[in-house]
Amino acid sequence: MRIATWNVNSIRTRVGRVVDWLVRSDIDVLAMQEIKCKPEQFPYEAFENAGYKVVLHGLNQWNGVAFASKIVAEDVEIGFDGMPQFKEVSEARAIGATFNGVRLWSLYVPNGRTLEDPHYSYKLEWLEALASRIGEQVYHEPEIPLALMGDFNIAPLDTDVWNIDDFAGATHVSKPERQAFTAFEEIGLTDVIRPLVPTGYTYWDYQQLRFPKNEGMRIDFILGNDEFASRVTGASIEREERKGEGPSDHVPVVATIS
């Protein structure tokens, strides 16, 4: 089974690129983030014509998460228990589903904006709540392969950004954010991509020619429990998808599991 995660940065804008890549790459399950639409606005027909069914959580023109899959999505869960709100709004940032016995989550972690912004505190609270919720599942159901997939908006290593000196006093690399990322390791999850793809970025800003200069960040991950990690037979970061006309600023991250 080939699974992938991709922050598509508006599915209505990039539906052609996404569906074309799904078919070319023979992906079975794609976790999407930043779909930026309500359910009634999603371009279902293009996916269905290619043999994919879609389940999603979208509330407005911001955020939004989804799965497109050849496999029936079971036990769909919108959000997670204890997920905090931002300014009394439960944002569309998490959806879980089971595919052929594999439990997957599509996650769009809050950006944080700046270290002084209330969104930064919200980000840390959100990550803590997620780790608590998933930690219980990993502990009580270790036999079920499980993975968190998505845009974590954290670069856990200095080498995950083009120049760590340029990020002094910025989000994505702060100590509390990196500690929040490490908390997923502490509950029994591991980055299943890095052992097979040790270097490479997943995001390049549209501004300042970041992509041509390869000034990127590695912020999109697939974190799996032991049962999931033991099944991974291949992995890739699809850098070529940042090229061409109208790309997302993120690229797909792919894992093949037995």
What are the DSSP calls for 9-61, one per residue? S-HHHHHHHHHHHHHHHT-SEEEEE---S-GGGS-HHHHHHTT-EEEEE--SS
The CATH H-level (homologous superfamily) assignment of domain 2-257 is: Endonuclease/exonuclease/phosphatase (3.60.10.10)
* pLDDT, tens digit, 9 for 90 and up, residues 76-95: 999 999 999 999 999 999 99
* pLDDT, tens digit, 9 for 90 and up, residues 26-47: 999 999 999 999 999 999 999 9
pTM given for the model: 0.98
Are 63 and 36 spatial neighbours (Cβ–Cβ below 8 Å)? yes
* pLDDT, tens digit, 9 for 90 and up, residues 159-201: 999 999 999 999 999 999 999 999 999 999 999 999 999 999 9
**pLDDT of the residue at 150:** 98
